[in-house]
Amino acid sequence: MIITEGEITFEIPDHLTITKKDEVFYNPKMKTCRDISLAVIQAFINKYYKDKEIKIADALSGTGIRGLRYAKELNAKVKVFLNDINPNAYRKILQNAKLNDISNIEVSNEDANTFLSRHFRFFDIVDIDPFGSPSPYIDQAIRSLKTKNALLCLTATDTSALCGRAKKSCLRKYLAVPLRSKDCHEFALRILAGYAMRMATKYELFLKPIFCHSTDHYVRVYLITDRGAKKADKTFKMLGYVKDYDGIKEVRNYGGEGFSGPLYIGNLYDSDIAKEALEIAEKRGFEKRVLKILKLIYDESKLGQIGCYDIHQISKVLKTSPPPMNEILSTLENNGFYATIAHYNPKGIKTNASLKDVIEVILKYNNRFER
């Protein structure tokens, strides 16, 4: 079957189950993720690698669609190294590269960790996009990156673990206790980022998140490298624990009964990267859903808020009806606050207003109709 995504025309198996049983793995639902990746990585290149050659690793390539799109669509001098342990995938990547007349690539047929370990401190960008958890690959991915201003991109589809439905799985894979709540998706991002940051410290490296999102069935984080023991030590000041009290979050730097963590408690975004990624996506005519996600994330990036105020959950505690989201946003803005809907929760609001301010808006809105 021949299909098109972005600027790439490529061949996939005729029958897809979107499981490991497929002859070659390809998930059409991840197109949104790949579009966002192109915009974010292009913004990253524009900021850190203008007029420089960039080496990118796509360590778990499947059909090769992600890596081939990087090779063809990124506006930069790039060489993409695509790898997959599946010999059928290896042959499919070569076929698809030939189909699109792409030559700025190198293709290998190895275990991902073997592939990464052969390229010690070699890559400017490493993308780990597995079926399930990226945890088994993070250590070697870090070792394969350059130690200054390189980018680690991680996708995790095991959200049952990261969002608390499979607590023991999260402990095994990420050495963290997950948060089981309606607002778990941001904390899934923070657990994944915090785990990668901790793994980097033993190499005297500091990883810092510059972008992330939780969409559909997966979470994805982007972290930039820096080197030195003192910088790596900063990691531990950026880790903490969180507890959920019916939509109200308590964050502290030590654990305890009912607390989730350790997880990253700093700012998840570089606002300049978020802004430029949005502008790039607009110029390239990406689909409306991609633009909506990137716009919400850019709005979020202006705040350092941990978690969001889930209006429906708070209203339930208050035993009142939740007002329309736009009504809350406009009222908060009229009161001099900044407010936006969380990209991962259409019922959640991120704002520099206090919980008390948000509660007052909810109660005042409903009081108008109770008189």
- Annotated binding site for S-adenosyl-L-methionine: which residue ranges? 34, 66, 84, 111-112
Neighbouring CB atoms inside 10 A of 29's CB total: 11
Would you call 153 helix, strand, or coil by DSSP?
A: strand
Buried b or exposed e, range 287-326, using 16+ CB within 10 angstroms: eeebbebbbbbbbbbebebbbbbbbebbbeeeebebbebe
CA-nearest of 119, 185, 196 to 154 is 196
Does the N-terminal peptide bond of residue 262 adopt cis geometry, omega within 30 degrees of 0? yes
Name the pairing type of β-strands 125-128 and 248-252.
unpaired
Task: Give the Cα separation of 285 and 292 in Å (integer).
Answer: 12
Length of the chain: 371
d(CA 181, CA 164): 8
**Helix (H, G, I), strand (E, B), or coil: what is residue 20?**
coil
What's the CA gap between 53 and 226, in Å, rounded?
19
Q: Is 73 within 8 Å of 286 (Cβ atoms)?
A: no
Task: Give Cα 96 to chain centroid, integer Å.
Answer: 27
d(CA 105, CA 93): 10
Query: How far, in Å, CA of 17 to CA of 97, rounded?
Result: 24
Q: Which two tokens mark 5? A: 């995504």
Question: In 3D, which of 301, 167, 160, 155 has the Cα closest to residue 215?
Answer: 155
